[in-house]
Structure 1
Amino acid sequence: MSSKKKLRSLLYVTLAGYGTFSAISIYKGDEKFYKNYVMPVIHLLDAERAHNFAVLASKYRLFPKTRYEDPELLKVKIFGKEFSNPVGIAAGFDKDGKAILGLRDIGFGFVEVGSVTPEPQPGNEQPRVFRLLKDYAVINRYGFNSEGHSEVLKRIENVRQDAQESNIIGVNLGKNKSSTDPINDYIEGIIKFGPLADYLVINISSPNTPGLRNMQHKEQLKKLLAVLIETRNNLPLKEKPPLLLKLAPDLSYAEKKDIADVLNQKKCRVDGLIISNTTVERPDSLKSVETKNETGGLSGEPLKDMSTRMIADMSKLTGGLPIIGVGGISSGQDAYEKIKAGASLVQLYTALVYEGPPIVAKVKKELVELLSKDGYSNVCQAVGKGNK
């Protein structure tokens, strides 16, 4: 055999061996393999294309189903539902309800779809998503790109009809950029998704829709919540969907107190909070010089402590209103800190960008170890225990 043929044969054997090793590693959900090999290859795509690829792969359920079985210790009963584990995917990943079952496959205890706007809209111009690799963070200014209520509703209906197992689905509601009646946009969302959603989220905290965050101001918020809660209460349903409010992390303590004062009024008392959305702040610690000054909301590691502090503040100010904690979670320790601050459930998203599907099982395993070490028999026992 000539040297050329030997070299070619060696190349084929090497490629075949690498391919087999890769397939086994992906099937097993090998954390290091994903983090060190798979994700860097995906990062050769620009951030939005990589996001679209991940949604497509989840839509067609190409990621292997997790082999991790949720223990009893992780079960959470809240909002009238039983969650197999407290770790969900945050809104913003599956904006149009295409990937619900694929996300369930990789181990999320619940999936939040959206933000969904009444009418389809393209969102802001591209480029609008940026990785901050040195900071384990992302900046996005998507601007509620959405296929609209009708398309997303059809997909959720299909999941409800075809799924062989229960899927807890939250729907995050937004307003159209050109809307002249923002409150009505949320009313439409409650009426349309109320019969199908396990919970509904009023998102008035995205930094990427002009004027949206102004709805967090005391008087505007009071008017908004009173109308939306009345709308929910009037739904012709035996079980009314819980209504949650998603807040920005950039609020002063006085603004947090104003919001709590509104929430503590009976007619404005939502069923829970999601804390928090992305931040417009840019900490001095950011190292990704080439992208850190892009306009948009910052998520990931730099948001972690800010969101955890806000969870603690709002839990105290509202007298223990249920909270879903989100912002910078990439380990069981991160999740545990938010739970001890007052969160009953947690969500992640940015860590998925950097570590891929194995991050879900990793967070759950580490959380179980921490809970067990501290003597808890169920995760609910730890809620708020660090916020005394």
Structure 2
Amino acid sequence: MSHVSIRQLLKNFDGKPPTVAVDHLDLEIEDGEFLVLLGPSGCGKTTTLRCLAGLEQPASGSITLGDQLVFDGDRGVNLTPDKRFIGMVFQSYALWPHMTVRKNIAYPLKSRKLTDALNSGRVEETAALVDCERLLDRLPAELSGGQQQRVALARGLVSHPDLVLFDEPLSNLDARLRDQVRAELHDLHQRKPFTAVFVTHDQSEALALGTRMAIMRAGQIVQIGPPREVFEEPVDEYVAGFTGMSNRLPCEYVDGRWYALGAEIFGMQPPAGASVGSFVIRLRPEKVRLVADAADLRHGEAGIAVHVDDVEYGGLHLDVMCSVAVEDSARRQLHARIPTHDSSRAPRTVSRGAAMILAFDPIDGRTFDTDGRALALPQRALTGALAG
């Protein structure tokens, strides 16, 4: 295991116009930490990983793995991947098809001439760690996707590298296997910590696996912290939207009434501070409910009239897509996720085309100013001002 330090890392790609993939990135990864880089396609997370691996050469900045400087633009240092003591687990498994599982796992030890590790049973020990010791004499073509990914993980760990890099390793697995391998990977890191950087666009993977998670946009880190902190306290609307606060209500006070998306919000009163007279509330689908009438709002709740566009049955929940009941609202959709067993969150039957009230308590959301930055005003103080 090793501490990782990235300083002012810059990576450009030529083109018309040129693209800045990693924009003067600063990042410290602690020894034994499992850091998840999360963001949409094109945000720079995979390029950052490839720079760490030595597969991309940055334009400037520096990267240090433990005590070893592996890249420095000013000093002209750029160690090739084979000279960086890292393990890598790819999205596509990348196993040698003509080699047995045993030989695939042993490959990093042989390439680094770690004879003592080979002779001491390291391959078998690592295979047992990821529950594939019974597969050692098989070929990759004889394995399932989940088994192949376990072998790829064992190969990445067998040499006890300073850093293990994961490039969306679960995305090729089906939903059941993805959950299973994710749980196994989390358990493995708890039992035998190693320093890791894990790239994904899947929020659930980031929340489950990360010691810390970093949300990236345009080659920069927008927010970094423990998963619970990032999930519950997003610093801006970009992070809020990416971590599941998909319902966006831009609230404005006009002529003594509150409006959002052109429709009146029931049950809200003007806040005491004029500085929050115009703001945005972000809410998760699980934190709203549907009621038949504004009279059904609970104390502290606000509500907005909606038209039910679609209802999807999800087993334990209904996904109800709504639009605000005003003209030109087709693209202003709101999402309610209603547990099928909880009749208090919605009538027992919600039908397409129904007129309803989307109810919410502002304290269950996150509030932002009109520039998208989280308001410093405490949520409870703001809620007290809004509740009517």
Please give the TM-score of this superposition, normalised by the length of structure 2: 0.30
Structure 1 or 2: larger strand share? 2
Bigger Rg, which one: 2
Please give the TM-score of this superposition, normalised by the length of structure 1: 0.30
